[in-house]
């Protein structure tokens, strides 16, 4: 997305990325309720980066950045390097499950 927007000057509203996760990549799409209920961290040996323990929450979902009203002008802003599911959704990425 950054390459299209900043290297090729394609306006963000003309960029569409759709993600169809496959196999174990679907884990990134599941909410914390499923992670805790089915102990997905234990099943797939996923460690929570905050606790160092086997994950009982989806560590890939929540963004560490606050929501913004409009995208920042500075391409160095953390908004453009947010790889969380929530951060990418804010930029218009569509995730299919």
Domain limits for position 43: 11-96
DSSP state at residue 14: G
List the one residue out of 9, 19, 10 whose CA is nearest residue 92: 19
Each residue's pLDDT tens digit, 3-39: 999 999 999 999 999 999 999 999 999 999 999 999 9
Q: What is the mean pLDDT of residues 68-91?
A: 96
What is the mean pLDDT of the segment spanning 36-52?
Answer: 96
Q: pLDDT tier at 97 (50, 70, 90 boundaries)?
A: confident
How many domains does one find in the chain? 1
User: pTM for the full model?
Assistant: 0.89
* Residue 40 tokens, joined: 């997905």
Residues facing residue 40 across a β-bridge: none
- In this structure, are residues 39 and 59 in contact, taking their beta carbons and an 8 Å threshold? no
Could you tell me if residue 81 is inside a domain? yes
């Amino acid at each position: 997305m950054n390459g299209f927007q900043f290297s090729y000057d394609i306006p963000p509203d003309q960029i569409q990325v759709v993600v169809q996760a496959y196999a174990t990549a679907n884990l990134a799409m599941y909410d914390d309720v499923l992670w805790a209920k089915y102990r997905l961290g234990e099943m797939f040996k996923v460690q929570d980066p905050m606790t160092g323990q086997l994950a009982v929450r989806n560590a890939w979902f929540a963004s560490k950045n606050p929501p913004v009203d409009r995208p920042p002008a500075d391409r160095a802003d953390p908004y453009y390097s947010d790889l969380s599911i929530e951060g990418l959704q804010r930029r218009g990425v569509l995730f299919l499950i």
